[in-house]
């Protein structure tokens, strides 16, 4: 009987140990992996003063990848392309895209080479480049000088260079590209219709589309598959930037048409946080992403 009791005890202990191990494994499996991206322009001030600590905080906030917004003298945030790539990898991050507004026809080849060396896949033009972008300080309004045809030619030329180097070129919008010009044309429409889709696609900034009074789903329907990336940022009742999930933009409705849009990745961005610490803002936004259903 003593032997039987010992066997029973051993079996029970083994079962308990097995159940505890299973529970532990389930807890590990249930631990959510990092997801979604952050446009580092949101935390530009801290990236300027302490980029490595800021990137660590971004990873700790739950993000899986980033978009760079700083390049000078062949370096990203003071790091060579290989250093930048290696440090991101050490944190479990990758750089999916880079805003390269400083591009010219003279430096394009070098910029493309450095973006590729950093392991970045998407070369993004954030505004009409090469002196075409305009900003009115008094009215806070953006615009463009030159013609859409000139911009189309620039985009196709840069897009072909990127394509030949194994990169993908995207154009990022603000609101003015969606507004009807005096001649009745819309810059975004002209870019979508006339740029070579083999070389040029688009990063849709959902805030600025809403600011222009345009429904993004209309563009997904008319130009399916062209919007490879989204900037996800919310708008408050006053029409200002807000953390994702705290404002008025119906992201669930937009996300439901992800496949039609062609979206392959997305990034939280908040140009200004209006007194809220940017690191706190990106945490609120990441929570919002999860609640909305972004993964």
3-class SS of residue 122? strand
Same domain, 48 and 127: yes
Looking at the fold, whether 143 and 192 belong to one and the same domain comes out as yes
Question: What domain range includes position 1?
Answer: 1-31
- CA separation for the pair 84, 76 (Å, rounded): 7
Same domain as 40, residue 24: no
The pLDDT tens digits of the residues spanning 93-151 come to: 999 999 999 999 999 999 999 999 999 999 999 999 999 999 999 998 999 999 999 99
Tell me the pLDDT of the chain averaged across its residues. Answer: 92
Q: Which residues of 131-158 are buried (b: 16+ CB within 10 A; e: fewer)?
A: eebeeeeeeeebbbeeebeebbebbbeb
DSSP one-letter code for 76: B
**pTM over the 0.85 mark:** yes
Q: Give the residue carrying structure tokens 């440090």.
A: 87
| Same-domain status, 13 and 131 | no
Cβ neighbourhood burial of 164 (10 Å; 0-12, 13-18, 19+): exposed
**Residues 165-220: tens digit of each pLDDT:** 999 999 999 999 999 999 999 999 999 999 999 999 999 999 999 999 999 999 99
- Based on the fold, state whether residues 127 and 201 are members of the same structural domain: yes
Domain count, the chain: 2
The Cα-based distances of 157 to 118, 198, 201, 280, 291 in angstroms read 22, 12, 13, 40, 41
Residue 17 pLDDT > 60: no
The span from the CA of 167 to the CA of 158, in Å, is: 11
Same domain, 82 and 144: yes
For residue range 236-284, what is the model confidence (pLDDT) as tens digits?
999 999 999 999 999 999 999 999 999 999 999 999 999 999 999 999 9
Q: Which residues contact 290 (CB under 8 A, 6 or more apart)?
A: 32, 35
Q: Are residues 11 and 60 located together in one domain of the fold?
A: no
CATH assignment of the domain containing 83: 3.20.20.150
On whether both 9 and 87 belong to a single domain, the answer is no
Q: Are residues 115 and 8 in the same domain?
A: no
Verify that 16 and 81 share a domain, yes or no.
no
**172 & 147 share domain:** yes
If asked whether residues 40 and 23 sit together in one domain, one would say no
CB 103 within 8 A of CB 159: no
């Amino acid at each position: 009987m003593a032997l039987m009791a010992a066997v029973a005890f051993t079996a029970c202990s083994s079962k308990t140990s097995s159940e505890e191990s299973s529970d532990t494994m389930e807890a590990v499996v249930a631990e959510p992996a990092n997801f979604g991206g952050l446009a580092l322009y949101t935390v530009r001030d801290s990236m300027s003063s302490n980029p490595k600590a800021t990137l660590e905080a971004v990873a700790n906030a739950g993000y899986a990848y980033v978009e760079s917004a700083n390049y000078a003298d062949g370096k990203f945030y003071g790091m060579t392309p290989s250093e930048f790539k290696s440090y991101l990898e050490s944190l479990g991050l990758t750089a999916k895209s880079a805003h390269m507004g400083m591009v010219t026809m003279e430096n394009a080849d070098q910029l493309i080479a450095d973006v590729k060396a950093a392991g970045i896949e998407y070369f993004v033009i954030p505004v009409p480049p090469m002196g075409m972008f305009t900003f009115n300080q008094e009215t806070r309004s953006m615009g463009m000088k030159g013609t859409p045809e000139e911009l189309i030619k620039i985009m196709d030329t840069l897009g072909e260079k990127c394509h030949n180097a194994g990169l993908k070129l995207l154009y990022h919008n603000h609101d003015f590209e969606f507004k009807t010009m005096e001649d009745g044309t819309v810059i975004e429409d002209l870019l979508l219709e006339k740029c070579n889709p083999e070389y040029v696609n688009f990063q849709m900034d959902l805030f600025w589309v809403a600011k222009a009074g345009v429904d993004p789903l209309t563009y997904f329907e008319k130009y399916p598959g062209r919007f490879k990336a989204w900037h996800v940022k919310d708008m408050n009742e006053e029409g200002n930037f807000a953390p994702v999930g705290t404002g008025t933009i119906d992201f669930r409705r937009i996300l439901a048409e992800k496949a039609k849009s062609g979206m392959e990745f997305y990034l939280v961005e908040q140009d200004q946080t209006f007194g809220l610490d940017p690191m706190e803002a990106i945490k609120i936004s990441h929570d919002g992403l999860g609640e909305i259903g972004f993964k």
